Amino acid sequence: MAEGIIARLDFKEIRYEVADGVLTITLNRPDRLNAFTETMLNELIAAFDASDADDDVRAIVVTGEGRGFCAGADLAHGGETFDYRARGVTDEVPRDGGGRVVLRIYDSLKPVIAAINGPAVGVGITMTLPMDIRLAVHGAKIGFVFASRGIVPEAASSWFLPRLVGISQAMEWVATGRVFDADEAERGGLVRSVHSQEDLLPFAHHLAREIAGNTAPVSVALARKLMWRGLGMSHPMQAHQADSRAMFSRGQSADAVEGVTSFLEKRPASYPDKVSDGLPDLELEEPQWS
């Protein structure tokens, strides 16, 4: 894709736009504060499938249309919203929809930045937990409100949230179910920084372009996999083994030659290796849903 050209894929409840190496995914139900639906779930999974296969995508920004990021699950079914059997689901234990999305984001081969431009409640905030960097707008309201709706935290947040902010902070937010502001989210380590509405997306795109313009895509994909999988490792020796395999593979690559040569020649690098050609096997254990 030529520099600066915008490429789009058509979806119903999200927008998918690629420009200058950055994919912007916009949750697009502004009349419902981008409340989460099954359609949005499936479109988000499809969007991350598409981004992994597209070498023009080097980094991803996720944001919301209008004045909200995502107000949580669409409650159009009223009191039966979370009752799968009342909605005709016959699986003994059906998979949580939010969990399907976050596990797909967790497996992304491209780094992901959340630009939280307004309320992010329930799945609206848990979907951001596997994203690599979270930014928020001043005044954004955030809440892990599940216990105050009679349910429990979903979207694998029992794994992600304590690892991101610590068990004490995670339990305070989950057990109280309270809605808090972006400043508290920043103090608690949930978001990197808080921005004005005018600065939020430009800053998110600045970070994304910094990734897109300066690093080897295959190296970033491997680094992301190593970092996230490392959170679940029981001993640093496992990380050492995975790092060693990655270094052995990357050290022989055309990217490594180009990275060192361009540095010595004091010129921008042009990395030839493509994520779509596949990544080396790091022998990291991948649990499967059965």
Q: What is the chain's Cα-based Rg?
A: 20
Q: What is the pLDDT at residue 110? A: 98
Can you tell me whether residue 178 is helix, strand or coil? Answer: coil
* Ramachandran category for residue 130: left, alpha or beta (phi over 0 → left; psi -120 to 50 → alpha): alpha
Q: What's the number of CA atoms in the CB half-sphere (13 Å) around residue 92?
A: 1
Q: What confidence score (pLDDT) does residue 94 get?
A: 79
pLDDT band at 73 (very low <50, low <70, confident <90, very high): confident
Quick check: 107 and 127 in contact, CB under 8 A? no
* Helix (H) or strand (E) segment spanning residue 171: helix 167-176
**Residue 44 in tokens:** 């988000």
* CATH among 3.90.226.10, 3.40.50.2000, 1.10.10.10, 3.40.718.10 for 7-212: 3.90.226.10
Please name the residues in contact with 117: beta carbons below 8 A apart, sequence gap of 6 or more: 63, 64, 67, 68, 69, 137, 140, 197, 200, 201
Q: Do domains 7-212 and 216-277 have the same CATH topology?
A: no
Confidence of residue 289 (pLDDT cuts 50, 70, 90): low
Q: 131 with 62: CB under 8 angstroms?
A: yes
128 alpha carbon, distance to own chain's centre: 5
Backbone φ, ψ for residue 16 (5° rounding): -130, 110
Task: Report the candidate in 174, 61, 71 with the shortest Cα–Cα distance to residue 120.
Answer: 71
DSSP E strand stretches across 70-185: 112-116, 120-121, 133-137, 141-143, 179-181
Look at residue 1 in the predicted model and tell me its pLDDT: 44
| Domain locations along the chain | 7-212, 216-277
CB 54 within 8 A of CB 18: yes
Structure tokens at 16: 């998918």
Q: Write the pLDDT tens digit of every residue in 242-271.
A: 999 999 999 999 999 999 999 999 999 999
Q: What is residue 121's three-state secondary structure?
A: strand
Quick one: how far is CA 52 from the chain centroid?
13
pLDDT-derived band at 2 (thresholds 50, 70, 90) equals very low
CATH fold label, 216-277:
Lyase 2-enoyl-coa Hydratase; Chain  A, domain 2 (1.10.12)
pLDDT in tens, 164-179: 999 999 999 999 999 9
- In 3D space, the residue among 56, 160, 151, 146 whose CA is nearest the CA of residue 101 turns out to be 160
- Residues in a beta bridge with 143: 121, 179
